Amino acid sequence: MKTLRLREGKERAALRRHPWIYDNAIAKGGGDSGETVRVESATGQFLGWAAFSPSSKIRARIWSFDEAERIDDAFFARRLHTAIAARARMDINSDGVRLVHGEADGLPGLIVDRYGETLVAQFLSSGTERWKPAIADALCSATGVGRLYERSDSGVRALEGLQPHSGWLRQPAGDAGHTDIGLREHDWQLSLDVAEGHKTGFYLDQRDSRHKFAQYAQRLGFTQVLNCYCYTGGFSIAALSGMRSAGLLGSGATVTTVDSSAPAIAKAQANVKRNGFDERNAAFLDADVNATLRSMHKEGRRFDGIVLDPPKFAPSAAHAERAARAYKDINRWAFKLLSPGGVLFTYSCSGGIAPELFHKIVASAGTDAGVDAYFLDRVQAAPDHPMTVCFPEGEYLKGLVLMQK
């Protein structure tokens, strides 16, 4: 068994059960890509069993802090069983569920989403790549699902020295291999393409926020809603659902949906139709969001509810300053477009933007827009995308709900 010996004083994070070992913490030792290595302190104290990654700044990711535990096929079967059992105890009103959320579930670099009878996995680290066959078998066994699609096409793999890869890992005999599938979320029917969609095909992390937005639309009687960076239109469906429950769709209530991706707009339109909404209550714009916000302000448009759910502006803290300017700009224009009493749901999925910083950015945007607003709520990813005590980096999605005075 190969060993990593850490520099003096660099064992503190591992002793707190944090799974990452950075390259500058290592005094000596190494291994092949994905190989299991023993991690020790400078004095030889056992710290963990880890997967070695010779190309990444995160040089090793700890699988287990138990010296007696073996990293083998049975280990992955146990970890997957624990993660899946935890989801069964969570309040999830959907047949789309995140079954494995990487480090939070003790499986660094592994993401697994279940969409009905299809599993989609991302193997984003050297360790998960090395153990891919065992993980695939264990996933299908633990869930009873035979369809497993791989979406390891994230740029993160390049940091691990891995090539992108996508395609079917497991299929039942005679399966046609369709990748366009349906999803039930709350009372809505949505569609996604696990081969072509973002990430694993859909943003399950916003499930609870979409439901909350539907409740706001119903309770406050939204008649004009703007959904920016719509992707497949989940927040638009939520808004229309709330309006329908309030009996407002026959009175000219409208949801305007904006995205710069034509395929996303087409998918959003299809989802609106799939849920039985009249196209007269939905407008779609294949356009740049920033330019659209400015144009709408010039036109004097106003909205009761606005959603800003942009892509990742800051993948790391090094990009935080530039991202902060981008977040502030779109939120400033959103404030200008809100009617008095209007509600803004605004998000950041950037790991490089801390929750406190995002709060300051949004507050500053309101000040620059010349408005005041109540902070009504802080929202985060759905519970099947957990943050844990030992891995606070798992908190990536930050959301704020504000009501303009």
- If DSSP codes are grouped into helix, strand and coil, which group holds residue 28? strand
Task: Quote the CA–CA distance of 90 and 366 in Å, as a whole number.
Answer: 35
The tokens describing 355, both together, are 């929750």
Tell me the percentage of the chain whose pLDDT exceeds 90: 93
Residue 303 lies in a domain: yes
Q: What is the pLDDT of residues 121-148, one digit of tens each?
A: 999 999 999 999 999 999 999 999 999 9
User: Distance of CA 152 to CAs 58, 109, 139, 195, 276, Å?
Assistant: 18, 10, 16, 11, 35
Q: DSSP letters of 4-26?
A: EEEPTTTTHHHHTT--EEEGGGE
Based on the fold, state whether residues 97 and 232 are members of the same structural domain. Answer: no
Question: What CATH number should be reported for the domain holding residue 175?
Answer: 3.30.750.80
Are residue 48 and residue 178 in the same domain, yes or no?
no
Q: Which amino acid is at 194?
A: V
Shared domain for 36 and 78, answered yes or no, is: no
Average pLDDT over residues 88-94: 97
Same domain, residue pair 292 and 153:
no
Provide the mean pLDDT of the chain.
96
Range of the domain at 169: 73-184
Q: Got the DSSP string for 122-188? A: EE-SHHHHHTHHHHHHHHHHHH---EEEEEE--THHHHTT---EEEEEE--TT-----EEEEEETTE
Note whether 298 and 230 are same-domain residues. yes
Same domain, 222 and 330: yes
Tell me: do 227 and 333 sit in the same domain.
Answer: yes
Is residue 190 assigned to a domain?
no
pLDDT higher than 80, residue 41:
yes
Provide the strand spans (E) within 186-337.
188-193, 224-228, 254-259, 282-286, 303-308
pLDDT of residue 347: 98
Does residue 209 sit in the same domain as residue 180? no
Tally of domains in the chain: 3
Residues 249 and 337 in one domain: yes
Report the chain's terminal Cα–Cα distance, integer Å. Answer: 64
Residue 7 structure tokens:
């520099």
315 pLDDT above the threshold of 90: no
Distance CA 208, CA 206 (A): 6
pLDDT for the residue numbered 403: 98
Q: Are residues 22 and 122 in the same domain?
A: no
* 382: in domain: yes
CATH number at residue 364: 3.40.50.150
Predicted confidence (pLDDT) at residue 278 exceeds the cutoff of 90: yes
The answer as to whether 194 is a domain residue is no
Please say if the pLDDT value at position 318 is more than 80: no
Do the Cβ atoms of 284 and 265 come closer than 8 Å? Answer: yes
In a domain, 50, yes or no: yes
> 91 is written with which tokens?
């309040």
Residues 16 and 141 in one domain: no
Q: Categorize the per-residue pLDDT at 313 as very low, low, confident or very high, splitting at 50, 70 and 90.
A: confident
Q: What is the largest CA-CA distance in the chain?
A: 73
Tell whether 280 and 214 lie within a shared domain: yes
- Say if 191 falls within a structural domain: no
Say if 393 falls within a structural domain: yes
